[in-house]
Structure 1
Amino acid sequence: MKLSKSAWIIAVLVLAGGAYVYVQGKNAKPAMDRYRLAEVVRGDLVRNVSANGTLNPVVLVNVGTQVSGVVKALHVDYNQKVKAGQILLELDPALLQAQIAQSSANVTRAQAALKLAQTLAMRQHNLLKLDYVARQDVDQADDVVAGARAQLAVAQAQLVRDQTNLAYSVIRSPVSGTVIDRSVDVGQTVAASFQTPTLFKIGQDLSKMQIDTTVAEADVGGIKVGQPARFTVDAFPDRNFEGKVRQIRLNPTSQQNVVTYDVVVAVDNPDFVLLPGMTAYVNIEIDRRNNVLLVPNAALRFKPTEETDKSADKPHRPAGTGVYVLQAGKPVAIKLQSGMTDNKQTEVVSGALAAGNEVIVGDKQAEQNDKSKQTQRLF
């Protein structure tokens, strides 16, 4: 007996359907193998604000000069410890000494002019007593004395200024500390006509350092003075250093519509391993929860696939925050109230979870299907 065309089609579809069910059943994995699970644990949860900054001395003094000249002698070099008042550098004093000599001569000339004016004025006063001169002549003589006295004062002030400039040709350290930078050499001409040049940079105390960091405006609200901070530097990648927030500067910086604030972290450096200019990768602790129930954030993001939702035992989706656990091989939703998070784990404030429970964080089969679909799109 020959089968009709429609019967052949029905037979083919039945066989294909049976084959699909057989393949799917063969490829289906047990629930424990299909889902990735993670354990709910108890522990400490810390919320940090991350920022990069630069290590600097707490007090960094730029030593300059108020006079111009040629560097005659250098008395200190890089990394050298200095004391307040110690001579750092000497400029050639020849021009300044010549100016002092000229000013001294001007003072001598002004003194002689004043003495002459006083003598003439006295003579005019004596003649006035004898009615030999008019009162106007006496007044003029007194005016000449006053002018000569003023010229002497100008000459003396000029001499004091030149003597002060000569003293400025010897550069002394204003503080005790360490020479961080030296910008001049012997024979170099230093010009202080328009702007005071920086000759040395001296860090006052390198056992006390600070990190100048920039924090985004979205994070600065959680930062308070005194909060602990941890940081690392490239020179010691396996070592963690500690500090505290010392200052939140109110002056904002805006670049490409991004507003940041300077946050200063105080750091102890007793062994002097932290050097000025090092880049510090800082985590500022802004909140902490001790001995709380923790669930991975991946569990909060997990949702059953459409295939599971269409099954007879469709899992109930929790209102609000929830996670899924395996019960009898099926994902079952558990509602919970979440608290603080560090973007990896979240605090469980309340809910039917306990330490040691396992929650679903991923579906291996769904992930493989997604990879297969992506591969098919490529070809």
Structure 2
Amino acid sequence: MKKLLIVLAIIAVAVTGFMLRPAKPVDVRMGKASTGTVEALVSNTRSGTIKACNRSRLSLAQGGQVSRLYVAQGDKVAAGALLLELWNDDMKAALAQASAQVRMAELNKASACRQAEADQREARRQKELHKKNLASAEQLDRAETAAEITRLSCQQNDAQVSQANANVAVQQARLTQTQLTAPFAGIIAEVNGEIGEYATPSPPGVATPPAIDLIDDSCLYVRAPIDEVDAAVIRVGMPARVTLDAFRDQAFTGKVSRIAPYVEDSEKQARTVDVDVTLDNLPDDVRLLVGYSADIEVITAEAANTLRIPSEALLEGNHVLTLSDDGKTLKKQPLTLGLSNWTWTEIKAGLSDGQPVLISLDNPAAVDGARVKVLPDTPAAGNASAGNSASGSGQ
């Protein structure tokens, strides 16, 4: 029995020693509070789209057989360029006939007006002779009557010239209905039709493919849907950043140019407001295409040269875990926050520049009061030299 008690005492001492031994330090990664820029951002809920400021899906005003096709897909055209033409030989002949009638009416007017000038001179001469009793009153009356008749004939022929010109305008308008011209300079995106085919205009309310799809690729913008809650803080003129899947390693700058005056209420989708961002000057080696998917971040507020921490270090309740004075134990530190996004959070009070903050929050053992060992390969996310929040998209 005595030996059993001794063994039990030894086991008890061993267990007690094991339980009272110092806990093994937890390996953690620490960032640092640093000085930099923090932005309040609003981003789109679904992918946006690159759009052209001017885009026309052109169709003919009347049907007919395609006689001439002056462009192909991808061609650049100037404003007013002729793109497509229906068979219109009869209308061209009618226009030529109307133009000839104008010429004839102008000649008739010139002849009548020249005769009217001669008769006016003759009437004045007869009037002078009548004053000197060298011409009778009957002669004077005949001369004045003839002058008045030819004057009216001149006016009549002038009206006939105007009528002939109006007829030319009518024939030209009819001819124009068979021709498709570019309303602005741009690039041909699509051509629907071949020479010899019959082109039919779209009936009212029925969408048919356009004869020519013309895009002005010199002016582009991004349209993206923003959640109705976030859209309330956006204003026209606010700066924005644009990223595209086609240029993953680049971000482009722009400004908000339009906010839709209504909310989109599409079925099975959140209610959103369309926001347009006009791009600033693009690099020479970047060529955007209409239809590219794009994302926008509208910068609604900015704090420069402010104290900030990586947003990943922030814990629920607006606090972080920092190091105690001995540098070996974690302690809870409450904070007063300012602007925030997914990358950075502004610190109004609670930390000083360079103070470490825990960023390895995936370790459940890293809690307030835990002994820790700071790993030397801490990421540079907390360094003061790190960039601003271009990659973040928070509220």
Which amino acid in 2 is paired with 1:79? G
* Within-5 A mapping of 1:203-352: 203-204=215-216, 206-255=217-266, 256=268, 258-268=270-280, 271=284, 273-301=287-315, 321-327=318-324, 328=326, 329-351=328-350
**CA displacement, residues 169-212 of structure 1 (integer Å, 9 cap, x when unaligned):** 122222222222222222222112614762112223x2321111
Query: Out of 48, 57, 60, which is 1:62 matched to?
Result: 57
| 2:330–2:366 Cα contact (<8 Å) kept | no
Query: Out of 342, 352, 355, which is 1:354 matched to?
Result: 352
Counterparts of 1:16 and 1:158, CA distance in 2: 120
Q: Structure 1 residues 83 and 294, CA, compared in 2 at 3 Å: closer, same or farther? A: same
Structure 2, unaligned runs of 5 or more: 99-165, 368-395
SS at match of 1:251: coil
Q: Give the CA deviation at 1:45.
A: 0.8
* Within-5 A mapping of 1:40-59: 40-51=33-44, 52-59=47-54
Counterparts of 1:58 and 1:227, CA distance in 2: 19
Counterparts of 1:250 and 1:47, CA distance in 2: 23
Query: Counterpart in 2 of 1:76?
Result: 71
Counterparts of 2:62 and 2:209, CA distance in 1: 10
Task: Give the TM-score, by structure 2 length.
Answer: 0.62
Structure number with greater CO (CA < 8 Å, separation at least 6) is 2
Task: Give the TM-score, by structure 1 length.
Answer: 0.65
Query: Counterpart in 2 of 1:165?
Result: 174
Counterparts of 1:55 and 1:92, CA distance in 2: 37
Counterparts of 2:332 and 2:298, CA distance in 1: 36
Query: Counterpart in 1 of 2:24?
Result: 29
Counterparts of 1:202 and 1:326, CA distance in 2: 63
| 2:264–2:273 Cα contact (<8 Å) kept | yes
SS at match of 2:24: coil
Counterparts of 2:276 and 2:175, CA distance in 1: 40
Q: Give the CA deviation at 1:337.
A: 1.3
Query: Counterpart in 1 of 2:211?
Result: 199
Q: Structure 1 residues 17 and 200, CA, compared in 2 at 3 Å: closer, same or farther? A: farther
Name the one with the larger strand percent: 1
Counterparts of 2:48 and 2:194, CA distance in 1: 32
| 1:209–1:268 Cα contact (<8 Å) kept | no
- Please identify runs of 4+ aligned residues in structure 1 that moved more than 6 A: 98-101, 157-163
Q: Give the CA deviation at 1:365.
A: 6.2
> What is the percentage of aligned positions where both structures have the same residue?
27
Q: Give the CA deviation at 1:325.
A: 2.6
| 2:28–2:366 Cα contact (<8 Å) kept | no
Q: Structure 1 residues 232 and 16, CA, compared in 2 at 3 Å: closer, same or farther? A: farther
Q: Give the CA deviation at 1:43.
A: 1.0
CA RMSD, 1 decimal: 3.7
Structure 1, unaligned runs of 5 or more: 105-156, 303-319, 370-379
Counterparts of 1:184 and 1:18, CA distance in 2: 94
| 1:34–1:364 Cα contact (<8 Å) kept | no
| 1:179–1:201 Cα contact (<8 Å) kept | yes
Q: Give the CA deviation at 1:331.
A: 3.0
Q: Give the CA deviation at 1:362.
A: 4.3
| 1:208–1:269 Cα contact (<8 Å) kept | no
Aligned length: 288
SS at match of 1:366: coil
Which amino acid in 1 is paired with 2:257? R
| 1:211–1:264 Cα contact (<8 Å) kept | yes
Which amino acid in 2 is paired with 1:39? K
Query: Counterpart in 2 of 1:39?
Result: 32
**CA displacement, residues 277-316 of structure 1 (integer Å, 9 cap, x when unaligned):** 11112222121111111123344317xxxxxxxxxxxxxx
Counterparts of 1:262 and 1:364, CA distance in 2: 38
Q: Structure 1 residues 15 and 266, CA, compared in 2 at 3 Å: closer, same or farther? A: same
Q: Structure 1 residues 208 and 35, CA, compared in 2 at 3 Å: closer, same or farther? A: same
Name the one with the larger helix percent: 1
